[in-house]
Amino acid sequence: MTWQEVLEHKSLENLPFKIELNARGVIEMSPATNRHGLLQAEIVWWFGVVFQRSGITITETSIQTTDGVKVADVAWLSRAFLEVHGDATPLLVAPEICVEIISPGNTKQEILNKVALYLQAGAKEVWTCTLDGTMAFYDVAGAREVSALAAQFPKLITW
């Protein structure tokens, strides 16, 4: 199955799951909690504060990777990125920052695999966020103490 076929498939229109495709074109789904949605909203808000109008933030960003189409929970795209890549679905290059919110069903290896896939697809940084709001930052050199792109971004989201 291709990503376009997934998008056009009538039976998949209103599922309460995040849908991704693996390298074999097989659909993978994972349900999201309200906590997951709250964290997405908080990260989107913080991106607006930190980056102001230098780019845009989108949720549920489909990205073509070497292991199929993966969907970042939140992504930040600079205006320069948008000029080159627009809003292609899926994006063939990962946005500058991709964020994965770690759900209870995610394994550490699964998340680290997604981190690697997004970096391989061109992301400058990949961030992970646990359900308690703890942030972790990665770039091609590995884990970072703080983001190089948004050093003032809080490591722990509180509200």
Q: What is the pLDDT of residue 120?
A: 98
Q: What is the pLDDT of residue 37?
A: 85
At residue 15, does pLDDT exceed 60? Answer: no
> Can you point out the beta strands (E) in 40-115?
55-65, 68-78, 97-101
Q: What is the pLDDT of residue 65?
A: 96
CA proximity to 76, closest of 156, 149, 155, 157: 149
Model confidence pLDDT, tens digit, residues 24-74 = 676 666 666 788 888 999 999 999 988 888 999 999 999 999 999 999 999
Cis peptide before 90 (omega within 30 of 0): yes
132 confidence band (pLDDT: 50, 70, 90): confident
What domains lie within the chain, and their CATH numbers? Answer: 32-144 (3.90.1570.10)
Single pTM value for the model: 0.83
Both structure tokens of 31: 């349900």
Burial class (CB in 10 A: 0-12, 13-18, 19+), 27: middle
Q: Distance of CA 15 to CAs 11, 28, 30, 75, Å?
A: 8, 12, 10, 22
